[in-house]
A and B are shown apart, each in its own frame.
Chain A
């Protein structure tokens, strides 16, 4: 799947065509890691000083930097969100949750307070209800958060946007996720395609809608292969892990009591040995499990990109399994090993990957893409902030 540097996938066909214009181009990311780190560290310092209340403004500054250092066809994106909009969105989500807590309190007082429900306390009912509503609300929050971000994003001065109902998306996503769970993940292609479609097809650049022409049937064959190979790989990895761990303990002459003692009163040496074992286990799983997962994810990403278009602009990527490994696994390790402080590095790597691997064919007809009259969401990301603080 390797692609030579600077050569677009399918470029030989594109160059042979005269109409429509399918001139290939790539996004350009010209951000610098040092500058991004300086903004991020300022954000973290202010977070400590304000006990987290500055996060709305910090997040906004980071987005401004990342957006404006990414350009397509020579035109930079702009992020024009404001910290106070995020704050208001957060406060609205708090009010919503407080209202829910009030409802649960009433339910407890009038229904659960009396026996035989007396052992079901107020905290229990509230925690349980939040767990139940939190799952769909996280999806609603994701969609609403995406809508807010897009409504504050401009390209060539034109506002982007996301149509569709976040609640409908939340209900569909919850149903599909549970259905996938009950069918032991065999519905993954259906879930992936049906969750990607509203996010892509409802995206607008001004009046220009994006189009997603994917179908679960296209990817089912490969997914089934991945699914069963994955099971075999897990069995092999678990078997190998047990054999190695058991063999090592036997060779060292360690009984289960010895191991327990080592674990509960660890010396520096024990910690080092444990770290070495963890690295060994990671390598084992890396060798057997992760490449397979990355192979599938790279395929899915290529499919997703190549089945999307914006008007007459087509997209393509030749992202490889190795690059997906760097994206999924290395980024994960960077965050983990730097105790979270590697986040700007991960973001920088991700944008460079996008800039290096995403190809666009053609350019939009600027005259026909018009500014939309609606301003998008008034406030942003309250639910997203409440239920999932990952990402920027």
Chain B
């Protein structure tokens, strides 16, 4: 049996139209024009480069050499492979593309759903098991960056705030120490970082009408900490970013542009869910300790008085917080219970940065 093929000698770009004839121990390659022998390759030194699924015509080579033999006709390749099982890859016929697409497409859909589930719901259960030292290290690094050019306040007020923060966290069953920092100045705000780190701006103490409002804000932030919201937020953001890159094959910059909007929306949705959960937990913790729990809604009402046109409501789906009216309604409590701070403690807190 003679198989027609194209032969490249590996030294020049010359092409020879050749015939290939297998014998017991050799592959004889000869010119079709005059039957002169071009090469004799010992069968056990031949190999196929690639396979039928990827290569249109996988070349046959002699191991250690640069020469190649290319047989274009699939049927001729199949016949040669039948005579030389060693070159079986020549006969390889890829499975039906349609069947592979259906199977792989279904697998992809299942994997995307599973990945999404792991990111969105898995973090809920997995994040508390992340080593606390790792979370604290991350939180401290971020805090150092944020507070690099700011003045931090110390003194009795900080001790007072730390004590209440840890009391509330313990009441929620949070097993780690909470660390409170106070930064001199504004905005009127507080936030949390991974690893039980809570940051207050001192302007909040000046703007608060009473100590219950500060306790309410503190309880709300403790709600974020005990639910591990900062770490969950980071893990979800990175997870979704990774999913986007993986599904687009890691090729398309366009996808980054297109999906960044979607990722922001998802982050905002997560943000709103976290805020609602922290509001509910904050109020519940204050009530559990027998403290006045009207501070959270009181603080929101004060915000509404200052800015009647609620930014969160206006921003809608683009807001990281729920509408303030909704939050007031959800956290409204009577002014009962004992104050969270004594008069002396409240004074110390108001003067913490002075």
Contact = CB atoms under 8 A, between A and B. Distances in A.
B94 A47 contact: no
B258 interface: yes
A157 B314 CA distance: 66
A64 B249 contact: no
Contacts of B258: 336, 339
A155 B53 CA distance: 20
Nearest to B142: A123
A239 interface: no
Nearest to A370: B12
Given A38-B101, A121-B144, A157-B68, A343 B14 contact: no
Given A64-B50, A65-B54, A122-B145, A157 B9 contact: yes
B10 A339 contact: no
A69 B56 contact: yes
A68 B54 contact: yes
Contacts of A49: 111
A116 to B, nearest CB: 9
Contact of B149 (A38, A119, A266): A119
B29 to A, nearest CB: 13
Given A69-B56, A264-B318, A391-B251, A41 B9 contact: no
Contact of B314 (A42, A260, A266): A260
Contacts of A80: 49
Interface stretch (B129-137, B240-248, B292-300): B240-248
Contacts of B9: 157
A389 B148 contact: no
Nearest to A266: B317
Given A74-B6, A340-B247, A121 B49 contact: no
A366 B14 contact: yes
Nearest to A154: B68
Contacts of B252: 335, 340, 343, 390
Contacts of A208: 13
Interface residues of A, number: 71
A118 interface: yes
B174 interface: no
A37 interface: yes
B12 A389 contact: no
Interface string B306-333: 0000000011111100000000000000
Nearest to A263: B316
A71 B57 CA distance: 11
B70 to A, nearest CB: 7
Interface residues of B, number: 59
Interface stretch (B102-110, B165-173, B346-354): B102-110
Contacts of B107: 45
Contacts of A38: 94, 97, 100-101, 104
Interface string A67-98: 01101001110101000000000000000000
Contact of A339 (B58, B100, B251, B255): B255
A266 B316 CA distance: 9
A74 B17 CA distance: 11
A141 B251 CA distance: 15
B8 A157 contact: yes
Given A364-B13, A371-B10, A118 B148 contact: yes
Interface stretch (A17-25, A27-35, A292-300, A315-323): A27-35
B112 interface: yes
A16 to B, nearest CB: 27
B191 interface: no
A44 B108 CA distance: 7
A343 B231 CA distance: 34
A335 B253 CA distance: 10
A264 B105 contact: no
Interface string A372-392: 000000000000000011111
A349 interface: no
B59 interface: yes
A296 B15 CA distance: 39
Contacts of B115: 48
Contacts of B247: 44, 47-48, 339-341
Query: Which of B145, B148, B245 has the most C-beta atoms of chain A within 10 angstroms of its own C-beta?
Result: B148
Interface string A170-183: 00000000000000
Contacts of B186: none
A122 B258 CA distance: 30
B256 to A, nearest CB: 9
Given A51-B242, A64-B54, A340 B15 contact: no
A270 B115 CA distance: 30
29 contacts: A34-B97, A35-B97, A38-B94, A41-B100, A41-B108, A42-B104, A47-B246, A49-B111, A51-B242, A52-B245, A64-B54, A65-B54, A75-B6, A75-B70, A76-B70, A78-B59, A118-B149, A121-B148, A123-B145, A156-B68, A157-B66, A205-B13, A264-B315, A339-B248, A340-B247, A370-B12, A371-B10, A371-B12, A371-B66
Given A75-B70, A157-B9, 5 more contacts: A38-B104, A65-B55, A74-B6, A339-B248, A367-B14
Sorted nearest first, the 5 A-B pairs with minimum C-beta distance are A264-B316, A340-B248, A119-B149, A34-B97, A157-B8
